[in-house]
């Protein structure tokens, strides 16, 4: 039986923009995507630390090394630039895959630059 577990996470990223007039999604700096192994078009959960909002959306690739974390479309109503968010991607795993499993966790600084990868 497959079970759903965290596959990767970007922890405490700062929202740089909220664009209501864009087709929905979250735009993430490509460098952060690669480090966290999050793919373009992948479904993610967004957890806003400032206001407690939790919602799903999908990822669009942003310019590498830009620090961009932009919520688009309806999701733009749930955040404010400057909010801290956690971005979580999940995967389906069978029990054998869970032996010694560890998700990719990317910790970022105030400018959304990688501080550490755990």
Helix (H, G, I), strand (E, B) or coil at 55: strand
Distance CA(50)–CA(98), nearest Å, equals 32
> Nearest-CA neighbor of 44 among 31, 28, 65, 68?
28
Strands of 3-14's sheet in order across: 17-19, 69-72, 25-29, 54-62, 43-48, 84-93, 3-14, 104-108, 114-117
Give the β-pairing of 25-29 and 69-72: antiparallel
Could you confirm whether 93 is annotated as catalytic? no
Could you confirm whether 8 is annotated as catalytic? no
Q: Which of 58, 66, 90, 93 is catalytic?
A: 58
Q: Which of 7, 8, 25, 36 is catalytic?
A: 25
User: Catalytic site residues?
Assistant: 25, 58
């Amino acid at each position: 039986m497959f079970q759903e577990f965290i596959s990767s996470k970007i922890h405490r990223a700062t929202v740089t923009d909220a664009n209501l007039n864009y087709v929905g999604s979250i735009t993430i700096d490509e460098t952060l995507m690669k480090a966290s192994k999050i793919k373009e078009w992948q479904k993610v959960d967004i957890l806003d630390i400032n206001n407690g909002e939790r919602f799903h959306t999908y990822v669009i690739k942003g310019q590498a090394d830009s620090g961009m974390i932009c919520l688009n479309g309806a999701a733009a109503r749930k955040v404010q630039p400057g909010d801290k968010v956690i971005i979580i991607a999940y995967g389906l795993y069978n029990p054998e895959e869970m032996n010694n499993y560890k998700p990719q966790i990317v910790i970022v600084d105030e400018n959304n630059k990688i501080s550490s990868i755990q």
